[in-house]
Amino acid sequence: MMKHILLPVSIVLVLLTGCSANHQKDSDQLPLLPYPQNVFFIKGNFIPEETISFNASGISEATDPVLFRQLQHSVSEAYDLQLNMKETTRPDFWFGIPEEDEEFKSLCENESIWPNEKLGDEGYVLKVSSERILLAANTNKGLFYGLQTLRQLWRGYPGKSGIPCMTVTDWPEIPVRAVMDDISRGPIPSNAYIKDQIRRYSELKINHMSFYIEHVVQTEKYPGFAPHDGAISIEEFGKLSEFAADYHIKLIGSFQSLGHFEKILAVPEFRHLGATDRMLDPLNPLAVDFLRDVYREMTPVFSSEWFTPNCDEAWDLSRAELSGKAASLGVEQIYADHIIRIDTTLRELGKRSLIWGDIILEFPEILNLIPSHILLGAWNYDPLDSFAEFIDPLMNAGFEFTVSPGILNSNRLFPDYRQAMINIRNFINEGHEKGAAGVYCTVWDDGGPHFFNHDWYGIAYTAEQCWRPNRENMALFDIRFSRAFYGDSQNSVPLGIQELNKLTELGPTYEMNELIFGKILVPEKGKSISYNIEEWEEVGSLVLTASQIFSSGDVTRYTDDIASLQFVCKQYLFLANSRQALLDASSYYRKAVGLAHYEKEKAQELIEKARRLVYEQVTSFNYLSSDFEKLWQLESRPHWYAEATSVYTMHAKGSPINNIR
C-alpha cells in the first residue's frame, strides 16, 4: 500500500514546491535574492561554447540600453566571451516578449514557458537548459528582472562548470517596493552614490525610491531654506528620475509639510510660517501657499504617482498657540483640514498623497474627516510579533495603506539588526496578509555619523520580503545574501554583523549609541574617570572576532561595504584598546612619581613608556579620522561633514589625549 502512495505524494510535493526531486538541500540554495516563487530543476548545466549568440524579441538596445549593457558585461565577466548580437535561427540566448514575435511565441509555447497573466508586468519565466537560455516576460520590466536573476546565477556559479539547468517562474507578491533614505538629519548622498543606490536597488527588484526631505531640496522660488553645501536641486531630482527609469525605478516625492519644520523655520525669511519653532502653522494661509509653491516645483520631476507630505509627529498641534479658531476647532479638525488642503493641491498636480498614520492613530476621529482616497502609512520600528494596532484601524476604516518597517541609524554607530530583521519580516508579512498597497521601508539617519553602506543587509531583506513574503529561517537568507550580493561563499557579512550586534547587550556599548565615542578618555587635571576594564576587554574581544569574520570572506563585489563595516570595528577596538593603554600609562606615571626622588633614570623610563602609549592612541585616533573622511567621500556631499566629524575635531583640538606629549 505504501508503495502505491509514495510516488504520487512525491509528485504532488514537486508540484507544490515548484522544485524537482533533485532539488538542492537548503544549505545549497540557489544564490538568488529575492528568492524566486518557483524553481524546477532539470539535470545538467549550461556551459557556453566559444561564442554566444543572442536574439531579442520586442526589445532593443535603443529602448532598453541598461538591459543590453548589463547582459554584455555579465557574459564577459562570467565567461570571458563577447555576445554576438547578430540574429540567428537557434541562438544561445533568446530574450523576449512572446506577443511581439510569432517565432518566439511559438518557441515559448513549445518549451512551456509562456508568461501568463499571473506574472503581470514584473514577472518572468527563465529556462536554463544545457543547450540554451530562454527568458520570456509580458513586458521589458519583467525581462529586466529576469536578467537580474540570471546575473546572480552567473555570479553564484563562476568558472567553467556553468550554471545548473532549471526553469524559474517568478513574480512579486507586493506591487510597490520602496526604500526611503533620510537625507535631512545627517549626510546627503552624492549624485554618484544615489545612482549606485538605484543600480543596487534594481538588482534587488526594488521598484520605488524615496527620500525623507525637510529642507534639502533647492527650489527656484525659495532657494534660501536649503543648505548651500549639499542641497539637491529640482533639476537634479529630475535627472535622477530619468536615470532611475532606465532601471525600472520610480522616484516618490517627499516634503515634510507640518511637523519637523525647525530647519526651515530657523531661517529668518520663513520664521513667520511657524506655529512653533518646529511646526508649520496649518491655519496660516501663507504657510499653505508656501507648501503649494514647493509642490508645484517638485511634483513634475518625481516619476511616481505617489507623493509623501509626511505630516507625522506634529505633536505641537495640541500644545501650540495656533492662530485663528484653534481652540474651538480642535486637533482633529485642524489636522484633517490641513491634510485636505494639501491633498487637494497634490491631486490637481497628478499625485496621490501618502500620509503617515501616527497622528491619525492618536486622534482616530480624523479617519472620518479626510477623504478615503488618501493613502495612509502605518509605521513602527519595533521587533513586534503583531502590528495590528498600527494596521487595523486604517484598514477597518476603508483606507488603502502601506507598511513601513525601519533600519535605524538614529544616534547609533551601527543599526541593531536583531531588532530590524524581525521588524521587517513581521511587519511586511502581516501587511501583505491584510492587503497592503505597498512597502515603504525607511532608513533613518538622525543624529548619527552614518554610512549608508551599513544598511544593505536590511535593505536586501526588505527586498526579499517584498517580493516573496515568508517567515523562513534567516540562515537560508544569509547564505543567499552573501553569495548573490557579495559573491562570498563564506557568509562573512551576516556572521560579522551578528557578532558586531552583540555589542548592544554589553554595558559599555549598550544599543551601540554614538555618544560613547565622544566621551573623554583622559581626565582634566585634578579629575578622574573610572571604567570597568574587564567589560572593555570583552568589547575588544568581541569586535576583534567580528573584524576577523569580515576579513575571512571572499567578497568580490561591493567591497566598499566591507570597508564601512570594518570601520565600525576599528571604532570600537580603539575605544577598548585605548582604555587599557591609558590605564597602563597612568600606572607607569604613578610609579614614576614614586621614584622621582630616588631613581630618576628609572622614573624617566616609565614616563617615556607612558608618553609612548598615549602617543600611540593619538596616532590611532588620527587614523580613524582619516578613514572616516575617505568613507564619507565615497557616499556623501560636504553638508553635515562638520557635524559628523565634530567628535574627531573635539578630541583633536580640546581633549587631553592630544595634549599629552
Give pLDDT tens digits for 366-409. Answer: 999 999 999 999 999 999 999 999 999 999 999 999 999 999 99
Going by C-alpha positions, the residue among 402, 386, 400 that lies closest to residue 178 is 402
The DSSP line for 38-93 is EEEEEEEEE---SSEEEEEES--TTT-HHHHHHHHHHHHHHHS--EE-S--SS-SE
Q: Give residue-wise pLDDT tens across range 260-291.
A: 999 999 999 999 999 999 999 999 999 999 99
Q: Cell numbers at residue 32, please? A: 538568488
C-alpha distances (whole Å) from 544 to each of 491, 497, 577 are 17, 12, 11
CA 61 to chain centre: 30
Angle, vertex CA 125, rays to CA 119 and CA 127, nearest 5? 170
pLDDT at 321: 61
DSSP letter at 23 equals P
Mean pLDDT of 559-585: 95
Task: Lowest mean pLDDT of 36-40, 81-85, 235-239, name the range.
Answer: 81-85
Is 313 buried (19+), middle (13-18) or exposed (0-12) by CB count in 10 A? middle
| Angle (deg, nearest 10), helices 191-203 and 234-245 | 30
Task: Lowest mean pLDDT of 88-97, 254-263, 275-284, 317-326, name the range.
Answer: 317-326
Q: Mapping DSSP to helix (H, G, I), strand (E, B) and coil, where does residue 302 land? A: coil
The strand pairing partners of 40, in sequence order, are 167
What does DSSP say about strands 232-233 and 124-128: parallel, antiparallel, or unpaired? Answer: unpaired
Query: Do residues 523 and 453 make contact, with C-beta atoms less than 8 angstroms apart?
Result: no
Q: Cell numbers at residue 120, please? A: 503581470
Q: Mapping DSSP to helix (H, G, I), strand (E, B) and coil, where does residue 208 land? A: strand
**What is the percent of the chain where pLDDT is above 70?**
93
Mean pLDDT of 294-298: 98
Torsion of CA 351, 352, 357, 361, to 10 degrees: 130
Is 605 buried (19+), middle (13-18) or exposed (0-12) by CB count in 10 A? middle
What pTM value is reported for the model?
Answer: 0.93
Query: Do residues 81 and 75 make contact, with C-beta atoms less than 8 angstroms apart?
Result: yes
pLDDT at 48: 87
Amino acid letter, residue 349: L
Query: Do residues 133 and 12 make contact, with C-beta atoms less than 8 angstroms apart?
Result: no
d(CA 45, CA 129): 7
Query: Do residues 338 and 361 make contact, with C-beta atoms less than 8 angstroms apart?
Result: no
- Banded pLDDT at 322 (limits 50, 70, 90): low
Q: Taking the CA atoms of 524, 527, 533 and 538 in sequence, report the sign of the dihedral they define.
A: negative
Going by C-alpha positions, the residue among 492, 619, 611 that lies closest to residue 546 is 492
Domains and CATH numbers, the chain: 2-170 (3.30.379.10), 213-371 (3.20.20.80), 497-658 (no CATH)
Q: Mapping DSSP to helix (H, G, I), strand (E, B) and coil, where does residue 232 land? A: strand
Going by C-alpha positions, the residue among 473, 475, 439 that lies closest to residue 459 is 439
Task: Lowest mean pLDDT of 217-221, 281-285, 330-334, 514-518, name the range.
Answer: 514-518
